[in-house]
Structure 1
Amino acid sequence: MARDAEGVLAGAIRYWPVSIVGEHIHKALLLGPVAVHPTRQGEGLGGHLISQSLGRAADLGWDRVMLVGDAPYYQRFGFTRLEGVVMPPPTNPDRVLAYDQGSGAWTGVQGNVLRIDAS
C-alpha cells in the first residue's frame, strides 16, 4: 500500500499465488488489482507500485509474475503476452501477460492457472 504524508491511502497493489498445471506444476504470482485513488491518478503512483513490488517479488524468490491487462500499458514494465497459459473463462487470452524477472522462467510453461488455497 502507498499512503500520503497524512496517512491517507493513495494506492494499493495485490499479488496472489497461483499454480500453472499442465504436464508439470509451476508456481507464479498473479498481479492484480492495482488501484490508485482518483485524486492521485496521473502521478505515476501505479507505475511505482508495480516496479517496486516486482523488485520485492524477486527478493522473495518469485521468478514468474503474470497478470490480465492491457499490453500497451504493462509492456513498459517488461510484461509480454503469455502463450500456452490459460486463465479461467471469460478471460481474453490476448490480455494474459507475463514477467519473468529476466530469468526466462516462463520458457516451456503451459497449462491452466489455478489458485493456491491459503490453508
Structure 2
Amino acid sequence: MFVLKKENPEDWWEVEALFDLCFAPGRTALSSYRLRDDVPPVAALGRIARDEMGMLGGAIRYWPVRIGDAEVLLLGPVAVHPTAQGEGLAAAMIRDSLAQAAESWNRVLLVGDLPYYQRFGFHRLSGIEMPPPTNQDRILGLELTPDAWNGICGPVIRAA
C-alpha cells in the first residue's frame, strides 16, 4: 500500500537517487534537462509515493517551460522503484498531479511513449521543437483547458 504525498524539500536527494536508479545517472545529459538547468521544479505538483514503512516507491516532478509567450508545464521525470513497478503508482501520481495542475495551468508537454500516455489524454504535437536530439514522434501534449495548444508552435525554451 502506497500513499501519495506532496514532495517536500527534505525528499529531494532521495527522489534524485530514485531517478538515478530508474534512468541511470547519465539521465541529466538528456536534452530535456537543458530546459531544467537552474530552474526550480513546480513545487506544488511534485508527488512522491511512500509505503507503510516510509520507503520511497515513486516520484514525479514538473518544470515550467515556454513556447513563445505561452507558459507550458513540462511533465517529468516520473519514476517507480523497480520493486513497486506494475502496481499503478505512476498512473496514480500522473492523475493526481494533473488534477492539481489543471487548477493553474493550461497545457502540459512531455517526451514519452504515446501508447502509455494517451490514456491520460496526451496526443502527439506538431510544430513543437524540443532541444535536439529529441525524437519528434515522442513530443506529446495535453490540454488542461479547451484549445490550450491551438496556435502554440516553435522551440521549447527554459522558463525565465
TM-score, normalising length from structure 1? Answer: 0.92
Structure 2 counterpart of 1:99, from 130, 135, 142: 142
The one-letter code of the counterpart of 2:54 is: G
SS in 2 for 1:62: coil
Higher relative contact order (CA 8 A, sep 6+): 1
Structure 1 counterpart of 2:84, from 40, 57, 78: 40
Structure 2 counterpart of 1:5, from 52, 62, 66: 52
User: What's 1:83 paired with?
Assistant: 126
Distance in 1 (alpha carbons) for counterparts of 2:125 and 2:50: 33
Determine whether 1:28 maps to 2:75: no
The one-letter code of the counterpart of 2:66 is: S
- Deviation, 1:101, is 1.5
Is there any run of 5+ residues in structure 1 with no aligned partner, and where? none
User: What's 1:14 paired with?
Assistant: 61
Count of residues paired in the alignment:
113
- Deviation, 1:102, is 4.5
SS in 2 for 1:50: helix
User: What's 2:34 paired with?
Assistant: none
4+ long deviations beyond 6 Å: none
User: What's 2:159 paired with?
Assistant: 116
Higher helix fraction: Structure 1 or Structure 2?
Answer: 2
Amino-acid identity (%):
60
User: What's 1:67 paired with?
Assistant: 110
TM-score, normalising length from structure 2? Answer: 0.69
Is there any run of 5+ residues in structure 2 with no aligned partner, and where? 1-47
Distance in 1 (alpha carbons) for counterparts of 2:145 and 2:98: 11
Higher strand fraction: Structure 1 or Structure 2?
Answer: 1
Aligned partners of 2:102 and 2:145 also within 8 Å: no
- Deviation, 1:115, is 1.2
SS in 2 for 1:30: strand
SS in 2 for 1:107: coil
Distance in 2 (alpha carbons) for counterparts of 1:103 and 1:37: 34
Distance in 1 (alpha carbons) for counterparts of 2:145 and 2:123: 12
